[in-house]
Amino acid sequence: MNLKTKHDAAKAVSAAILFKGQEGTVTTLQIQKEAELKEHITKVPALLVCVTGKIVYEDESGARETLLSGDFVNIEPMVKHRVNALEDSQLLVIK
């Protein structure tokens, strides 16, 4: 299987549950170049992993990280954040 098969190629931003365990979930995100995952919050800690592509993660505390393939960032709970894709990108969100 491939992460791309979980997404609608026509959508600029697409999310799908990849795995749901007893204690957490893994969500796959596909964000097309120049698209944005709009500002939102998570109620629990999360880990954002860039599988392919290039994205910019920003949050309300002033953090700004550019992630390339293999890079990751910890997302704090109750902190507004957003993601902008500089290239077509595949991401994993682990909660």
Question: Average pLDDT in the 34-42 region?
Answer: 97
4 secondary structure, DSSP code = G
| Closest C-alpha among 8, 44, 6, 38 to residue 25 | 44
What's the mean pLDDT when you consider all of the chain?
Answer: 96
Count of domains observed in the chain: 1
Quote the pTM value. Answer: 0.93
Whether 4 shows a pLDDT value over 90: the answer reads no
Residue 17 CB-density burial (10 A; 0-12 exposed, 13-18 middle, 19+ buried): exposed
Q: Please give the structure tokens belonging to residue 15.
A: 């999310």
**pLDDT 10s digits, 39-74:** 999 999 999 999 999 999 999 999 999 999 999 999
Q: Is the pLDDT assigned to residue 8 strictly greater than 90?
A: no
Point out which residues pair with 31 in neighbouring strands.
Answer: 13, 89
- Domain encompassing residue 81: 3-94
**Which CATH number characterizes residue 58's domain?**
2.60.120.10
**Residue 9, pLDDT above cutoff 90:** no
